Structure 1
């Protein structure tokens, strides 16, 4: 009888140890596969790592992965606790239940939870590559049960109005990347300029041309009815090589004049085979102007950049849904959203456009975009309801403020310095 008890004791004890090892495997696998960076796994897989490639495939369906691993983990933990209770109850009587609870809690906590998870979180990619092949087998074995559990969980969640979206993880990749970049900057691993460029590239799909276009009130245009001398003088003094051409009203854009095309035509009239200085009077700016390219104001920046590249042009006029001119956009404007302000020898030097006064105030042009201000000052003013800093003040005030009015919101103090008609032209801003 004693021999049978000894044999049973060692068989059950061995089974408990085996179950604890299996529980450690499931716990560590769950942590490793959820904590591993898919980017690092992809890099390892590209170098020929079969384990990393297997880990990528396993983590594609995170819900199925978690279901299978948790099912295995709970089965082993519950079975090991049951065996320990049976064994100790046989050895010490009814008090074995309490003793088994204490012993198994200690063993499971240390050897099946903390130890494997600590290793997995410290070596996430290495551990994920090692356990992925075995986990794939577990997922296949448990797939019928996991599928039933998933259906039950989705049904229970739907009762509370929660919809489990299988594509939510894919849709969240962009936010995950943006968050990682912002976190890297806050920890000092990513420079501000690098953060701005990376986030600027990510934001192109979420921003529209109306947010960065040059407003129609600031567009320099050429009057088609102006004299040739006036047109040539304007082309020579303008810092721009392309100028929209209008006739009658500024809304009536009939073409876009390129300075090179204009000067080629002037050269032909004046210095061509039959050219004379007097023939400059025959200059027709409409003849040399290109056909205007109009784009809707709601076009996303990444789509517009693709259109510019496809059409081999980088100059567009922005119109609203009624066809009315709203502004002007160039490829350079889109690139500036990624790399920052691009200047040349004809641009005004704005290397440090925002300088604080002795009191800590910043005098800002009302037409400055909130995004540019945030990037330059590392602020976080919201740009959901307005594109410019003047628009933000008007939105928050729910009125067009008068000169001298002061407002405080979003942790800043805003004072209206100058106003022209219904436009706020200058503001004084100070962080509170």
Structure 2
């Protein structure tokens, strides 16, 4: 009987082969679990955990494991390397006993193929296809393995952190690579690029998400565009102005527009006129006093975030606020509708004044826009990416980058766009042509 035949006839050979097979299965479980637990979305796992089906407990365990990603990865990699090294060592012994000295090379080739296909690619492909459910199924056994290997993993973590600290890297096991907001915003952008999320849906959701990052200064109506009532004007003039105005709320000033002393609502004005004109003893319009119906104005700082201001509007049961700077000077006004429009888009009714469209695409690729158009609105309308860190409006961005107030016909190129001044009114850039380069 040859050595090969004798080795094949030996029961220990088949026992070793069976052990190698089991180790390869364990390696596949570790590899698939690593992929599933790292790729699984916390939001989807939380949704699964909140349901009452069979996967709820597994999803809850997976969430607990993902809270300490360093411990999770350390435990899985330690177990995976142990079974892979042990399987390779046993395979070397097995093939050496069967074919002699050439068994080392054969074992290397065979185990590389088996580990690559059945312990790496296959389980990871399966796991990435449905990471949340795979993570829920694998959470219990992986949790037990991590608990058993906890002392060794702790030592490995100390060594790893010590080495990284030498290079100035500090590890926070509970820190997420991305905030929840960034994760959602990234998912919406990917969904829109793939066609699964409509542009309007994306804009509404993104608008709601970044309210806490934007201030009232960015969307307020500038004081130059505020319609006000002169509190010292004749009653006839005040009433005529209120009737002509498309607005239901108007600030009241005394002396100069900066000195706002009240806010009048059209309904309060109508009630006052009714009292003054109805009945035999009614004094008439001449007895009308604007301050009798005006209420105290509500002032807010320009640095207030839209999220905070939305809460204040809801808490105070009001829709209108005047914006002031750090010196108390009037900067503009903001309404509840302005904030809601940042989420749902332009809101109009039958009393709104119809304006010419701000955005006009031209055949040459230029967009002819109003200089006061905000960068955010322009980006949302065109899917461009003009930066809005240094300016709120497109005209403001041009002036900031040019470091001067350009004249009509001047052109600039920055941030991958070409800007041309089409119209200018004194120091204001009223019309601009914008085109993306490349």
Normalising by structure 2, what TM-score?
A: 0.92
Tell me the CA shift for residue 152 of structure 1.
2.6
Closer, same or farther in 2 for the Cα pair 1:297/1:150, shift >3 Å? farther
Count matched residues: 430
Q: Is residue 2:326 matched to residue 1:324?
A: no
How do residues 79-98 of structure 1 correspond to structure 2 at under 5 angstroms? 79-98=86-105
Q: 2:41 maps to which residue?
A: 37
Moved more, 300-309 or 261-270: 261-270
- What is the CA deviation profile of residues 283-316 of structure 1, one whole-angstrom value per residue up to 9, with x for unaligned ones? 2212211111111111111111111101111111
Contact 2:69/2:174 (8 A) holds in 1 = no
CA-to-partner distance for each residue in 1:243-293, whole Å, 9 max, x for gaps?
11111222211111111112211221222573132xx22322122111111
Mapping for residues 254-265 of structure 1, pairs under 5 Å: 254-265=261-272
Question: Counterpart of 1:169 in 2: which secondary structure?
Answer: coil
CA distance in 2 between counterparts of 1:181 and 1:393 reads 30
Matched, 1:190 2:197: yes
- 1:161-180 matches, cutoff 5 A: 161-169=168-176, 172-180=179-187
SS at match of 1:168: coil
Report the CA distance between 1:59 and its aligned residue: 2.2
Give yes or no for the alignment of 1:64 onto 2:71.
yes
User: Which residue number in structure 1 is paired with residue 60 of structure 2?
Assistant: 53
Deviation at 1:199, TM superposition (A): 0.7
Matched with 1:359 is 364
Give 1:15's aligned residue.
19
SS in 2 for 1:59: helix
Equivalent in the alignment of 1:416:
421
Instruction: Quote the offset at 1:5 in angstroms.
Output: 8.4
Aligned residue for 2:118?
111
Any idea what SS the aligned residue of 1:181 has?
Answer: helix
Distance 1:178 1:111 in 2: 36
Q: Structure 2: which 5+ residue stretches go unaligned?
A: none
RMSD, matched Cα: 2.1
Q: CA deviation at 1:10?
A: 2.5
Give the CA deviation at 1:381: 1.4
> Match of 1:149?
156
1:311 matched to 2:330:
no
1:204-231: CA deviation from partner (whole Å, max 9, x where unpaired): 1111111111111111111111111111
Offset at 1:35? 2.2
Q: Secondary structure at the match of 2:67?
A: coil
Q: Distance in 1 between matches of 2:369 and 2:318?
A: 33
Question: Quick one: which of 392, 397, 400 aligns to 2:397?
Answer: 392
d(CA) in 2 for partners of 1:164, 1:274: 81
Q: Per-residue deviation at 1:170?
A: 7.3
**2:326 aligned with 1:295:** no
Pair 1:265–1:417, CA change in 2 (3 A): same
TM-score (norm: length of structure 1): 0.94
**Whole-Å separation in 1 of the counterparts to 2:410 and 2:332:** 29
Tell me how far apart the structure 2 counterparts of residues 178 and 3 of structure 1 sit (CA, whole Å).
61
Pick closer, same or farther for the CA change 1:64–1:15 going to 2, 3 Å: same
Gaps of 5+ in 1: none
Out of 206, 210, 231, which is 2:238 matched to? 231
Query: Are residues 130 and 405 of structure 1, via their aligned partners in 2, closer, same or farther at CA, if it must alter by over 3 Å?
Result: same
